[in-house]
Amino acid sequence: MSTKLKNVVLIQGVFRPDVFPLLKKLKKDVVVLEGRPSLQAARENCSRLQKMGLMPTLMADNMAGYLFSKGIVKEVWIASQTIDKEGAMCEIGALIIAVLAKKHHIPVFTHCAGKKIKPLSNPKAIQKFNGQSVITGKVKAFVPLLEWVPAKYISKGGTS
Amino acid sequence: MKESPLFWPAYLNSKVLFVLDETLVPQYLRYVKVKNVDDAVKVIRDMKTRAFGQFLVVLSTFLLELERHPQLNGEELQEKIGNIAHALNRSRPTFPFAEVTGGIVQWADQALKAGQDVRVVVLKKVHGYLQGIRYRRLERVAKIAATIKDGDSVLTHCNVSGELAMAAAMCQSQKKDVQFYCTETRPYFQGSKLTYWELRQMGADVTLVADNAIGTLMADRMVNKVIVGSDRNCANGDFANKIGTYQIAVLAKEFKISMYVLTQPSKRIASGADIPVEIRNEKELLEFNGKRFVAGKVHGLYPGFDVVPHSYVKKEIALNVH
């Protein structure tokens, strides 16, 4: 059960398949953030972890802070689209995790997925969840899919 | 002042307590019929109502049960009131219902000891208490409006039971140009369903964002203020609020954005470390409308609340409890 979580690697974004054997070697609990609006991170990461024989724990994107406040996050892994010495272009939500990690003195590692992601989604994307309607009608929404994480939030040598 | 239905989401009529089913808003404005304390506990536990609505249900349940049992004498009423308090206190652990129900139990005890009519005393005091809360919440709406300045862009999370929406309407009447951003607030989407809707109802300029977009909003200076509610307050200023509030607070501090919190000051809990955080059933996270969205074996962790240290708060917008 979830309350048994003690040493957590928190992963955010959709990772390349070759990253998961590295996660397994850590022998830690892996917590996956769901990755609104598409939920692709939840689906793909959980599926790959299951194939590695690992039991993932899923949390909503707004729940990462709770894990940090409990002091159980030991590492953060973030999937990036591109990375350079100035920082990394990551899937939306990465900046939250990176700032939380900095505040709690937790290392942040980025893994370049190299995948092309468009910067913004259609506002309608957050009117649905898992294909089902959350709210109907015309909604004014801002749905960024990418964000910049400055290098100061990323640990040295923390890329692959 | 135009009121949001979420500002006062329960009312008593003919021995039935009608509670707005907030899980159906905005599609439907339907009220659940609560006929006894068991129904009240269920409506709270099932999160049909939340935040201020829960306190309204707790207080109104005493009125309901007193009306339903006109035959009980003083001693019997005292026992009944104690039992109601006990049941309500256990409905959701993070909420300080005992702080409210304890007062009602005390009123009954004191009335009995003084040889007064327990029913009359308790009814009068609960009605008076509710009227006082209503007045003070309206006062707080004005305080929120005073906090929001012309040109502000305000981020909010979850829902503050009508007060922010009514403050937005007040800002409009004061000719302030204000933008609002509200987070969708997984897993129950109170932001998408309640806050977005009621701000729009009040004519506010509001934009919905996913919970994971707050970093970009703050880093790009798209918001300059954060205003959130609180479900439980401590003597040192720490508070508990909907899950997601802690990371908003940490990011706001990082990006030097002022955070304001609506509080109900209380000295009963010393600090946030003493607040029990409810861990809800993982099914509520892993399913939406009864449909699971991740295949295979996976755990879900759903803490209902975050505890936020007072150091993150620029200013409390407090309910005057004195």
Q: Is B152 in the same domain as B104? A: no
Mutation target among B196, B301, B302 for the A interface, most CBs of A within 10 A: B301
Q: What residue numbers bound the domain in which B79 lies?
A: 10-136
What does the pLDDT look like over B123-138, one tens digit per residue? 999 999 999 999 999 9
Mutation target among B159, B289, B294 for the A interface, most CBs of A within 10 A: B294
Domains contained in chain B, number: 2
Give A2's pLDDT tier (boundaries 50, 70, 90): very low
Report the b/e string of B173-188 with b at 16+ CB within 10 A: eeeeebbbbbbbbbbb
Quick check: A99 and B298 CB within 8 A? no
Q: Is the pLDDT of residue B283 over 70?
A: yes
Q: What percent of chain B has pLDDT over 90?
A: 93
Domain for residue B5, yes or no?
no
Largest Cα–Cα separation, chain B: 65
Q: Is B301 in the same domain as B222? A: yes
Q: Is B132 in the same domain as B152? A: no
Ordered structural domains, chain A, with CATH: 2-119+146-153 (3.40.50.10470)
CB A66 within 8 A of CB B306: yes
Q: Is B156 in the same domain as B297? A: yes
Q: Is B167 in the same domain as B311? A: yes
Report residue B54 as tokens: 């829960």
For residue B300, what is the domain's CATH number? 3.40.50.10470
Rounded to whole angstroms, the Cα distance separating A92 from B211 reads: 10
Neighbours of B316 (CB within 10 A): 18
Report the b/e string of B189-213 with b at 16+ CB within 10 A: bbbbbbbbbbbbbbebebbbbbbbb
Q: Is B214 in the same domain as B177? A: yes
How many residues make up chain A in this entry? 160
Q: Is B71 in the same domain as B219? A: no
Q: Is B179 in the same domain as B258? A: yes
Give B95's pLDDT tier (boundaries 50, 70, 90): confident
Which of B168, B277, B273, B190 has its CA nearest to residue B231?
A: B277
Residues of B belonging to the active site: 231
Q: Is A152 in CB contact (< 8 Å) with chain B? A: no
User: Could you tell me the end-to-end alpha-carbon distance of chain A, in angstroms, rounded to an integer?
Assistant: 31
Q: Is B152 in the same domain as B289? A: yes
Domain boundary among B113, B136, B159: B136
Domain boundary among B114, B136, B158: B136
Domain boundary among B85, B102, B136: B136
Q: Is B112 in the same domain as B209? A: no
Please enumerate in sequence order all residues whose Cβ is within 8 A of that of B3, keeping only pairs 6 or more positions apart, or say none: B162, B166
Nearest CA in chain A to B186: A60
Classified as helix, coil or strand, B167 is helix
What does the pLDDT look like over A18-38, one tens digit per residue? 999 999 999 999 999 999 999
Please enumerate in sequence order all residues whose Cβ is within 8 A of that of B160, keeping only pairs 6 or more positions apart, or say none: B51, B195, B227, B228, B229, B262
- ipTM of the shown complex: 0.96
Quick check: A43 and B186 CB within 8 A? no
Q: Is B290 in the same domain as B211? A: yes
Q: Is B176 in the same domain as B130? A: no
